[in-house]
Structures are given as C-alpha cells and as structure tokens.
Amino acid sequence: MESLENISSPSRRAFLAGGAAAGLGAVLAACTSSGSQQAATPATKVNMKAELEKPASITFWSWVPGIDKQVAIFESQYPNIKVNLVNAGQGAAEYTKLRTALGAGRGAPDVVQIEYLEIPTFVLGNKLLDLAPYGAAALRPLFVDWVWGQVATGGQVYAIPQDSGPMGMLYRKDIFDKYGISVPATYAEFAAAGRKLHQAAPGVTITNLASNDPNVFLGLVWQAGGRPFTSVNKGTMGIGLDDGAAQKVAAYWEPLIKDGIVSTAPDYTTAWYNGLATGEYATWLTAAWGPLFLSEEAASSTGKWRVAPLPQWTSGASVSGNNGGSTTAVTAQTASPAAAAEFAMFINTNPACAKLFSEPPQYLFPTLKSVLASSSFLDGALPFYGGQQVNREFASISTTVDTGFTWSPFEDEINTSFTDTVGAVMADRGDLLGAISTWQSTVTRYATGEGIKVS
C-alpha cells in the first residue's frame, strides 16, 4: 500500500507503475548495446566489514514520508556513514532530475528510490550498480519470489525490493446486497453482475476502467498471462501488446464499455473520487495500496466496502497481476558503493525498518516474507471494510501473482502511446481490439527507431 501522504499528490505515477516480474534479464539481453560503457563492478566479493568501517557520506533520494526514521536506524548502526535524505519529487519528477544528473556525469544521488517499471531503462543505460558483489544475492530468500525477479537477472542484482501492488477487487457490499449480487469469482460472473446492476440501477456501473491508466489495463493483461515484451536473442525484442492475452482482455471489456455497463472516466479526478464515495462504481479493481487510499478519499462510505481477489478467467483458478511498487537502487555514479549498497540492503531487510514501511504514515505493501507472515501486519481489522482483515487478504493474493510478465526499457513511450490509442478509444467506447493493434504498431515503430530489432 502506498503512503496516504503521497496519495493526495497530483502525481499518480508512484501508484500506477507496475513491476517487471521474473524476466528482467530477458528484456535487457535483447536490448543491451555492445558499445555501451558498463558501470564498474568489482570482480570479486567486496569485504563489506572492512569497507563499512571507513567514513562515508551518501545522498538518498526518496519520496516515502517518514523515511527519515529508517535513515536514523541505519545511522545508529553505522555511525561512520552519514545519510543525506532528499525528496527530489515523486515518480516522473524524480526521474527527470535523475536522468539529467546521470547524463551530466555528476549530481546524481548515491541511493535512489526507483519503481520496478523504470529499472530496465536505467540498467540498459548502465546507470545502476550491480549489488551482488556487495552481498545482495544472499537476500533473495527473504523476499517474495516473484518480486525478486523484478530486480535481479542471473547473478546480478540491480535494486532491493521495497513494496509491491498485487491486484484485487474492492467492492461495495451494500450495493451488492441491495441488488442481490454475489461476489463474482469469474469474469463471466462479473459481466453478468454488471448487466444485472445496469438494468436495476442505470446510474451505477459495475466498475470504472480508467481510460488514462495504462497500468491498470496492463495489470489485467498480466493476470491473463500476457507477455508484451520478450527476448528472442541479443539485439532482438519481441513486442506483443496485442498478444492473445491482451486480445482476450480487450474483447472482454469492449462490449461492457460500449453498453455502458463499465465506465471509463479518468481516475484521480474530483469526479472519480466522488464516484467511489457515492456508489457510482460498485467495484474498484486495484492494488494492495488501494484499500488505505480508498479509506482516506471515500471516508463517507465507511463500512460499505469489502475486499476479494480479482475475478478469474477460469473457474477455480487463483491468479493475479501486479500494479505498483518500488525499490532502492544504487547509482553507478556513487563514490561510496559499499556504504550505499549496505544502506539499500539494510533499510529493506532490517526488521525495525521493514515494520515501519508497513505502518502509518508509509503504508507500503511489504515484499519481505517475514512482514507478510507477521500477525501484527495480518491481523489488523479495518472498520472501513466492516472489520475485514484486509492485509491478510492481499498477502494471500500476493502469492498468486503471475511470474512471467516483463516490462520494456522504454516505459514512458508505452504510457504515452496508450493514452493516444487505447485510452482514447476507451473514452469514445470504440473498437478496443483495433486500438491495441494500433498501440502495438506505435510502440514497434518507436522501438525500431531506437535501434531495437523487433521480432
């Protein structure tokens, strides 16, 4: 779950960015330029004990509220290391400054918060330090398996997981009860519930599939088994934004949108907030950070909401996608690699630090197995959800995220072109299958123009 302090910000990217699951190396192998300058990586394992006894000063960029507490815990353990904490902006605002500094060869932080979505871009440019020689590979058993695949490839580790966004369904129990609707376990049941609701209450839609939000759409494609980016061999990338899974998702939602059963209003607007609070939308298909966000923004609907897994394509299945999450990475520009690497590892694995991430005001959804299994995290009952143990629900959902989804090293183009193609057609209730084909062609042209051979 993302922090409540951040969710009121106009910038939604930290919530809306998805993660690159197992397969980071597949995309990078396809795109790595043989002429690029690799960041310096020690040939052998670093003697961390000796390195950490040396005085060091590192700069850390993060947008997480209250993370100064984790910094203080680290500094108490490592008094020779001073951490300068900077909030350089959230999501895109931070990345603009980061790319400028990295391109200039100076001014970048030693340690930086980066969403899973952006890792391939920075790795491809050789801007992140491989943390394996500093001991990061040994941390793998501590984290949820599919999440580790978002930051590591082969024996290399490019960041330490901090939080994630497994997707589930928030639903209005009062609306379901009023109109005799059972919680839909499959997408067929979800569509039937939507049609029943549309007939009984024309002013209510079963859900809102936001036309400005590529990562919700891609999260649903993720759940359906989509593989939009794959590696064929070095220098060649497979792009399949209109693959079979994406076509299945588009074909499902198109008639629901055309018939007004599903709305497509842009999210994170005043109208959208009001829609959640007043019962205009009977469900919200969202990630694990959504429940706390909703309780803040739709407080007038306290007690009316509940949590369930996403509907499934096959009865009895249990599969989800992911939408959100970030990491702690070390830039190749750092002059204190051991201190920076230790800091990135420490704040995400130290029990006291990890516990703080899952509590107010941070409310990040954990990736550390120990936190996900702790009673203090699982057993809290939220009045907004009728006393339901929401964290327990999403902890279970987290184990069902499909592991085969990967992201590209040019996500900014993916998002922009979605808005111009798929999003525009959704808003107009048009040909969604045709729109994803156009999206595919647009991204393919972009990749080819960047020197990537597309299969």
Three-state secondary structure string covering 6-44: HHCCCCCHHHHCCCCCCCHHHHHHHHCCCCCCCCCCCCC
Judged against a pLDDT cut of 50, whether residue 406 lies above it is answered with: yes
* Mean pLDDT of the 291-298 span: 92
Q: Predicted confidence band at 38 (pLDDT cuts at 50, 70, 90)?
A: very low
* Mean pLDDT of the 106-128 span: 93
pLDDT at 28: 61
8 Å CB contact between 91 and 62:
no
Q: What residue spans define the domains of the chain?
A: 4-164+325-372, 167-321+404-454
pLDDT at 417: 96
pLDDT at 235: 75
Judged against a pLDDT cut of 50, whether residue 11 lies above it is answered with: no
* Mean pLDDT of the 297-325 span: 96
Distance CA 315, CA 347 (A): 41
End-to-end CA distance of the chain: 37
8 Å CB contact between 342 and 52:
yes
Q: Give the distance from CA 152 to its chain's centroid.
A: 16
Distance CA 362, CA 342 (A): 22
Q: DSSP class of residue 89?
A: -
Helices (H) and strands (E) in the chain, counts: 22, 15
pLDDT at 411: 87
Question: pTM higher than 0.75, yes or no?
Answer: yes
Q: Which CATH class is domain 167-321+404-454?
A: alpha beta
Lowest-pLDDT range of 18-27, 306-315, 358-367: 18-27
Strand locations in 29-107 (E): 56-61, 81-86
Regarding beta strands 81-86 and 262-263, do their DSSP bridges make them parallel or antiparallel, or are they unpaired? unpaired
Q: Predicted confidence band at 158 (pLDDT cuts at 50, 70, 90)?
A: very high
* Mean pLDDT of the 83-112 span: 95
* Mean pLDDT of the 434-446 span: 97
The architecture in CATH of the region 4-164+325-372 reads 3-Layer(aba) Sandwich (3.40)
pLDDT at 402: 82
Q: DSSP class of residue 83?
A: E
Between 438 and 120, the more confident residue is 438
Q: Within 13 Å, how many C-alpha atoms sit on residue 225's CB side?
A: 9
pLDDT at 419: 94
Sheet holding 283-287, edge to edge: 283-287, 167-172, 305-309
pLDDT at 340: 98
Lowest-pLDDT range of 36-50, 119-133, 173-187, 271-285: 36-50
Encoding tokens for residue 373? 């299994």
Nearest to 94 by CA among 65, 60, 127, 135: 60
* Mean pLDDT of the 246-273 span: 97
Domains 4-164+325-372 and 167-321+404-454 share a fold: yes
* Mean pLDDT of the 293-297 span: 92
Q: Predicted confidence band at 23 (pLDDT cuts at 50, 70, 90)?
A: low
Nearest to 160 by CA among 201, 203, 128: 128
pLDDT at 3: 33
Judged against a pLDDT cut of 70, whether residue 45 lies above it is answered with: yes
Tell me which H or E stretch contains 231: strand 229-233
pLDDT at 40: 64
8 Å CB contact between 50 and 322:
no
Judged against a pLDDT cut of 90, whether residue 154 lies above it is answered with: no
For the chain, what is the mean pLDDT?
Answer: 90
pLDDT at 6: 35
Percent of the chain exceeding pLDDT 70 equals 91
Distance CA 284, CA 136 (A): 37
Judged against a pLDDT cut of 60, whether residue 358 lies above it is answered with: yes
Nearest to 276 by CA among 7, 18, 6: 7
* Mean pLDDT of the 247-254 span: 98
* Alpha-carbon distances of 208 from 189, 302, 342, 352, 446, rounded to whole Å: 17, 20, 43, 38, 30
> Could you write out the DSSP letters of every residue in 257-287?
HHTTSEE-PPSSSHHHHHHHHHTSBSEEEEE
Regarding beta strands 160-161 and 326-330, do their DSSP bridges make them parallel or antiparallel, or are they unpaired? antiparallel
